[in-house]
Amino acid sequence: MAPRVAVVVVTYQSAGEIGRCLGALRDSNLPLAVVLVDNASTDRTLDEAGAGAQGMRIRIVQNRTNIGFARAVNAGIALTASEFVLVLNPDCYVQRDAIASVLEAMVADENVGMAGCLLLNPDNTEQAGCRRYIPTPWRAMIRVLRLHHLARWHPRLDGFLMNREPLPDQPVGVEAISGAFMLLRRDALDEVGLLDEGYFMHCEDLDWCMRFQQRGWKVLFVPHAKAIHDRGRSSTSHPYRVEWFKHRGMVRYYFKFFRRRYPGVLLWLVVASVWSRFALVVARTAARRMFSSSTNPAILEAIRPESDERRERSA
């Protein structure tokens, strides 16, 4: 009998995470089919995936080039036929009953098109973004100007993250969930469509949340279902490229959904803020890498003999 849920995992340079991810899926209390789509990893991702796939119902697809997250997810979904599809990041490790709990909540309400779980940081704190409001241009500017710290005095100054709000004690509807864990109803998926492949990576999950709700499908957050999300582990090898696609995705998202709903001046101000933030992040990352290299023990060890030799010559 075919599993009710198929899991689509997209990997890229995920050798350090995919084994644990698949192990958590194997230990799930729900029968699962898994489709793993690899975006041309050059590390040991496929070796680790093969080892971690022992005893699982899994299909592994290897792309010759990195086609991006959205295209890879869509290709993986095309290989499934289950009633529900879970899109899961390779650095997301589900607890044993997490998928079953989210599935149960979705089955209880036929109007729910997608649902997410409580994503935890490695220190077990709630991760920002696993439940959130849609980041409108107004909310984005509030965040950029750091006015969200004044939200206690005026709700209009609130940002788009909800992790500082009290955790609900039962499943609740939200505006958006994280793309690290998205359980999708097949009927809703067929109506709404696949991910927008105009996004290479990042913001495609927000786009999906918007489109599901535009078609009348609910987005659900299930707080008692949990997973550890060691966010960004697969992106550390190419930080500048990742940041470029992330910020380009933000611009695409804002223009796609808010071009006709907000004054052009505000929208362009948001876009300018996005690219200013990109420049700041790149500069900060470069400075951090430079400092890290200068304090690297291997580099210091390589420098030390030269200094000793100079001292000997001067003596």
User: In this structure, is the dihedral angle defined by the CA atoms of residues 209, 215, 216 and 217, taken in order, positive or negative?
Assistant: negative
CATH-assigned architecture of domain 5-235: Alpha-Beta Complex (3.90)
- Asked whether residue 236 carries a pLDDT value surpassing 60, the answer given is no
C-beta separation of 246 from 203 below 8 A: yes
Q: At 133, which amino acid appears?
A: Y
**93 CB-side CA count, 13 A:** 17
**Residue keyed to tokens 């290299």:** 293
Q: How wide is the angle at C-alpha 81 spanned by C-alphas 22 and 219, nearest 5°?
A: 75
Q: What secondary structure letter does DSSP report for 289? A: H
Nearest alpha carbon to residue 235 among 52, 98, 39: 39
pLDDT at 303 over 50: no
d(CA 28, CA 227): 12
Q: SS3 of 119, please?
A: strand
Query: How confident is the model over 47-78, as pLDDT tens digits?
Result: 999 999 988 999 999 999 999 999 999 999 99
Q: Determine the pLDDT at residue 7.
A: 98
Helices vs. strands in the chain: H and E counts, helices first: 10, 11
Dihedral sign (CA 209, 210, 211, 212): positive
pLDDT classification of 233: cutoffs 50, 70, 90: low
Query: Is the pLDDT reported for residue 165 higher than 60?
Result: yes
Residue keyed to tokens 């995919």? 18
pLDDT digits (tens, 9 = 90+) for 131-144: 998 888 777 766 65
> Is the overall model pTM greater than 0.85, yes or no?
no
Q: What band does 175 get if pLDDT is binned at 50, 70 and 90?
A: very high
Closest CA to 204 of 55, 74, 17: 74
Tell me the domain boundaries of the chain. 5-235, 239-314
Phi, psi (degrees; rounded to nearest 5) at 117: -115, 180
- Mean pLDDT in residue range 93-98: 98
Distance of CA 82 to the CA centre of its chain: 23
Rounded (to 5) percent helix, strand, coil in the chain: 45, 20, 35
Closest by alpha carbon to 63, among 39, 90, 79, 34?
Answer: 39
